[in-house]
Structure 1
């Protein structure tokens, strides 16, 4: 797996640029405290956590990108595999940008049903998958094989799922029952500049929020009776932004910056500061979640190839 990754765009000049881009703000000491590595994952088995959805008891449902798996990580740190998605016949070599099959975005419905994205570069497997409690994975919506479905968000009020395609620069929408997705937004702000564009997604305060990894931006797209409003750029200079989470009802954000091995705290006015970094144990952080004042940061070690892990910390609410 690591040899395969080293020959893909993950080690290309695009990511080199992300790795060497300096943070645009100083460290905000004291905003996030007590960072510590709670769980170490097995890199040799492809346990590279890509995305997370939290259950009410603090259990983390995660996608392991390199293993094509969905797993549960208990509050005690025990990891249990829930499902392994089928391997593509060609091994996934035609998966756009990355050239290996990977499970990406995940959300959890109130009844425990999981919705998961899978990218393989093949028409028979790429798309949105559903895993009911105790059930087996089933694909409920096909997505273009030449795209890379990545971030996933659920609007519980309308039962609509939003899907970020990082290669095609599109946000798709589809109901939780599945069916044919609609291109909800193809705004130019979603496009990549050579590697991956729109990535993390959240539905928050009447809008779909998105990060663009290549452009280092946070975008807000108002929900206009289900349609996409005009894109608003809410933050910039966030090189390598992957997943993010809101810290409460307001618009303050914690964001994982994959290449620089950092977590940024983004204020509603768009300014940001770095609150966690490589010295805290981050290894290409991919996803963030919050439960109360507990911050969960998952690292996939795509580039460092050292220690995929779960970091826990405390957030001081201001």
Structure 2
């Protein structure tokens, strides 16, 4: 890590779920630590037991001092995971056997990314792996030359295929495989935009007030599911469903769940509209039923360290923790989800 990154970015290192000031102190304390000792995964967890999870274990550790704060995950059918590492600006591939390979590092801004809205450091955020074998990643830098949607194709250097507003923070990324469009949430501007897989100029899709922040970060995680774009709002603690109308028009947002402080990313379990969601500051993963009620299924006792993203492959659950404020063991946790009838 460069001296510039340590001095400037550590002042505001934060996750998309917590205040910059708190995160800064935690990141600085991590920098001062001579070594990291990882706690052994717990033998069991009350939260996991109540939420019908089993075989909870941490399978991957990341280097916090190098800025490897896992932010978002995309899973392949074979269990290969593609992960954005926020502050190191990296895209990593993790094989089913647990081997990690850095596929690409996005270019550093000339000013160190100090103009990145709210956060003050450049970061790789949302990620999607598409049928064309390319990986699509969002990058926020505060600069017009680098902020945008990037394509990482096998054997090729990363390429920006769509410029996004430098005064925004592109965060959540979702692919509609039918229309071959990518949906992009902006946590600062409170918008959703669309870009074709081929790239090009973004089109503003929704500016609904439900997407706005209340002072920090608003629209966050995004998924296309059952004819709608589902979006979390971190500041408001809500899960939204926005119908995708004819002609790719945005419908009126429907609030499907509330009271979810620090909600970041989410994934559908395969049972209707039921989801698992990460609550970053509270260090929880919750199971949200279609009626909006939620139950904690993982917590800090299981090894969560500011969970940022969750994905499922069948009944196998993958959860990333960035340790932005805990400053302990950014990791990938896996577990088995029970109680599903597919």
TM (norm. structure 1) is 0.93
* Cα distance in 2, alignment partners of residues 221 and 296 from structure 1: 25
* Cα distance in 1, alignment partners of residues 249 and 22 from structure 2: 33
* Alignment equivalent of 1:100, drawn from 121, 135, 140: 121
Judge conservation of contact 2:71–2:83 (CA < 8 Å) in 1. yes
User: Which residue does 2:249 correspond to in 1?
Assistant: 227
* Cα distance in 2, alignment partners of residues 15 and 162 from structure 1: 30
Q: Write out aligned runs for 1:1-20 (5 A).
A: 4=8, 7-8=11-12, 10=14, 12=19
Task: Kindly state the Cα deviation for residue 6 of structure 1 after the two structures are TM-superposed.
Answer: 5.2
* Alignment equivalent of 1:200, drawn from 206, 221, 225: 221
Task: Kindly state the Cα deviation for residue 118 of structure 1 after the two structures are TM-superposed.
Answer: 0.3
Judge conservation of contact 2:135–2:151 (CA < 8 Å) in 1. yes
User: Which residue does 1:272 correspond to in 2?
Assistant: 294
* Alignment equivalent of 2:325, drawn from 285, 297, 303: 303
* Cα distance in 2, alignment partners of residues 280 and 55 from structure 1: 25
Task: Kindly state the Cα deviation for residue 14 of structure 1 after the two structures are TM-superposed.
Answer: 8.8
* Cα distance in 2, alignment partners of residues 167 and 204 from structure 1: 24
Judge conservation of contact 2:126–2:138 (CA < 8 Å) in 1. yes
- Describe the superposition over 1:76-130 as per-residue Cα deviations: whole angstroms up to 9, x where unpaired: 2211000000000100000001100000000011132111000000000000001
Distance 1:12 1:109, change over 3 A: closer
User: Which residue does 2:26 correspond to in 1?
Assistant: none
Aligned pair 1:69/2:73, yes or no?
no
- Describe the superposition over 1:45-71 as per-residue Cα deviations: whole angstroms up to 9, x where unpaired: 111110010122101000000100101
* Cα distance in 2, alignment partners of residues 2 and 91 from structure 1: 10
Q: Write out aligned runs for 1:58-137 (5 A).
A: 58-137=79-158
Aligned pair 1:165/2:186, yes or no?
yes
Comparing 133-142 with 295-304, which one deviates more in the overlay?
133-142
Gaps of 5+ in 1: 17-25
Comparing 282-291 with 107-116, which one deviates more in the overlay?
107-116
Judge conservation of contact 1:9–1:195 (CA < 8 Å) in 2. no
User: Which residue does 1:57 correspond to in 2?
Assistant: 78
Aligned pair 1:176/2:180, yes or no?
no
* Cα distance in 1, alignment partners of residues 162 and 11 from structure 2: 30
User: Which residue does 1:19 correspond to in 2?
Assistant: none
Aligned pair 1:39/2:60, yes or no?
yes
Distance 1:2 1:313, change over 3 A: farther
- Describe the superposition over 1:153-174 as per-residue Cα deviations: whole angstroms up to 9, x where unpaired: 0001001100000000000111
* Cα distance in 2, alignment partners of residues 117 and 223 from structure 1: 22
User: Which residue does 1:292 correspond to in 2?
Assistant: 314
Judge conservation of contact 1:166–1:197 (CA < 8 Å) in 2. yes
User: Which residue does 2:275 correspond to in 1?
Assistant: 253
TM (norm. structure 2) is 0.87
* Cα distance in 1, alignment partners of residues 131 and 262 from structure 2: 31
Question: SS at 1:304's partner residue?
Answer: coil
Gaps of 5+ in 2: 24-45
Question: SS at 1:153's partner residue?
Answer: strand
Question: SS at 1:44's partner residue?
Answer: helix
Distance 1:2 1:250, change over 3 A: farther
Distance 1:115 1:178, change over 3 A: same
Task: Kindly state the Cα deviation for residue 239 of structure 1 after the two structures are TM-superposed.
Answer: 0.5
> Could you say what the CA RMSD is over the residues aligned between the two structures, in angstroms?
1.7
Task: Kindly state the Cα deviation for residue 246 of structure 1 after the two structures are TM-superposed.
Answer: 0.1
Question: SS at 2:252's partner residue?
Answer: coil
- Describe the superposition over 1:180-227 as per-residue Cα deviations: whole angstroms up to 9, x where unpaired: 101100000000011110000000000000000010000000000111
Judge conservation of contact 1:14–1:195 (CA < 8 Å) in 2. no
Task: Kindly state the Cα deviation for residue 149 of structure 1 after the two structures are TM-superposed.
Answer: 0.2
